[in-house]
Amino acid sequence: MQNSTYTTKEITVKGNIFSVLIVSGSINYIMIRKETNNPYKTAGKQFENFDKAQENYKCPVMKTELLKIELGLN
């Protein structure tokens, strides 16, 4: 999409690797896709922002990793 920045971060939570795509600019969203045991590379879950993404997960480690990405610590 024009005038948007796409950034991908990789995180590991409990032995599972997740890819986090952050899109910002003229459109904004976060997409989280589990890479471990995903042979067909199906699309991940899309969220409006980091708050919505953190609400979706119960795992405190996942919430912490998402917060670190949001704050630019990862």
Whole-model pTM: value is 0.88
pLDDT at 18: 96
Burial grade of 65 (CB within 10 A; 0-12, 13-18, 19 or more): buried
Half-sphere exposure of residue 3, counting CA atoms within 13 Å on the CB side?
Answer: 3
Tens-of-pLDDT digits for all 74 residues of the chain? 478 999 999 999 999 999 999 999 999 999 999 999 988 888 899 999 999 999 999 999 999 999 999 999 97
